[in-house]
Amino acid sequence: MIEWLTASDAGHWTVWAAAAVTVAAIAWLGDWRRARRAAPDAVGCMPWTAVFMAALLVAVVTGALAVLTWMSP
């Protein structure tokens, strides 16, 4: 079904970038919920900000690699 997307290196980088963007969006929502919780003393164990930053870094790097491999001759 998605053979056209994974047929090239740029497609592989695009899939990884999309996955990282999805993880970053989920982490951003988790951080948003954590910041607006009703009980400020109810501390969770998930470091949403660090997860968001790491996923965003991966998304930017893999997105740049996808564009570079797509544009290369």
Q: Is residue 50 part of a domain?
A: yes
Gap between the terminal Cα atoms of the chain: 26
Query: Count of domains in the chain?
Result: 1
**Is the whole model's pTM more than 0.75, yes or no?**
yes
Instruction: Identify whether 57 is part of a domain.
Output: yes
Domain extent at residue 17:
9-37+44-71
Q: Are 13 and 31 in contact (CB under 8 A)?
A: no
| pLDDT tens for each residue of 27-47 | 999 999 988 888 877 878 889
Opening angle at CA 21, ends 15 and 24, nearest 5: 145
pLDDT > 70: percent of the chain: 92
Residue 32's φ and ψ, nearest 5 degrees, are -65, -45
Average pLDDT over residues 4-29: 89
- Is there a domain that residue 1 lies in? no
Q: Is the pLDDT of residue 10 over 90?
A: no
Asked if residue 20 belongs to a domain, the reply is: yes
Cβ atoms of 18 and 42 within 8 Å: the answer is: no
Please report whether residue 4 resides in a domain: no
Domain-embedded: residue 52: yes
- Is residue 3 a part of any domain in this protein? no
Mean pLDDT of 5-13: 80
